[in-house]
Amino acid sequence: MKRISQGDRAAFRELYDTYFDYAMRTAWLVVQHNEWAKDAVQETFLRVYRNSGQYDTQKPFKPWFYCILLRECYRVMERERKVVPLGEQLERIPVEPQLPDQQVDIYEALQGLDDLYRIPLILKYLHDYSEKEIAEAVGVNQNTLKSRLYKGREKMRQRLGGESYGTQA
């Protein structure tokens, strides 16, 4: 980051190569739209470059990076929702069904959750991040995060018909 803050474009490319794949995947899973995900990722890297001088090197990079990425995802979703007709917005709002459904697969169960639970679960299971890292990225304390992960998994379990999973962490 020090090199990037001094304008070293090669160092920035190295960082881009290292983080692009998971950033793109995370953004896609969060916003569930190809163009929105691209916008969020592009803006994230731009912000990382422009703000590299403000990055505190004593702190871990990943939570800082994912905090920016998630903020950009929210920003893009917010922007796009404003221009989407209300009827279409309502169709997109995930409904959290109360009854188990054998037809629903695990991915659909995940994407049917509120963002509050969905995003921490994406970070945990896509990236295998620790609860501490996720808590820092989403800006909550670790106990709150644990509760959200628990509740999110519980909602998924109900949706999947009581199938228990995710306890071997």
Partner 1 sequence: MERKLKERMLEESRYDASIKEDIWAKLETELNQTPQPADLSPRLDMTLQKKRRAKLMKRVKWTTGLAAAVIATGVFLSLPAGTAFMNEIQGWFAPEKQVEVEVEGQKEETQQELHQDVESNYVLYYDVDRYRLVEGERADVITTKEPLPEGYPEVSLTIEQALDVAPAALAAQIAEQLKATYAEVSEPERVEEPVDGYVVHAIDGQEWDSEVTRVYLVDNGKSGSFVLQARYFLEASEGHGARFEQMLREFQVLPAE
Instruction: Report the helix count and the strand count for the chain, using DSSP H and E.
Output: 9, 0
Indicate whether 97 belongs to the interface with partner 1 (CB under 8 A).
Answer: no
Q: Binding of partner 1 at residue 80 (CB under 8 A)?
A: no
Is residue 151 involved in binding partner 1 (CB under 8 A)? yes
Rounded to the nearest whole angstrom, what is the least distance from the CB of residue 61 to partner 1 in the complex?
A: 15
User: What single letter denotes the amino acid at residue 141?
Assistant: N
Residue from 58, 98, 102, 103 touching partner 1 (CB under 8 A): that is 98
The number of beta carbons lying within 10 Å of the beta carbon of residue 85 is 8
Binding mask 1-30 for partner 1 (x = CB under 8 A): ---xxxx-x--xx--x---x---xxx-xx-
The answer to the question of residue 83 lying near partner 1 (CB under 8 A) is no
Report the C-alpha gap between 119 and 8 in whole angstroms.
33
Task: Tell me the two tokens of residue 159.
Answer: 């949706």
Q: Are 119 and 130 in contact (CB under 8 A)?
A: no
Is residue 89 a contact point for partner 1 (CB under 8 A)?
no
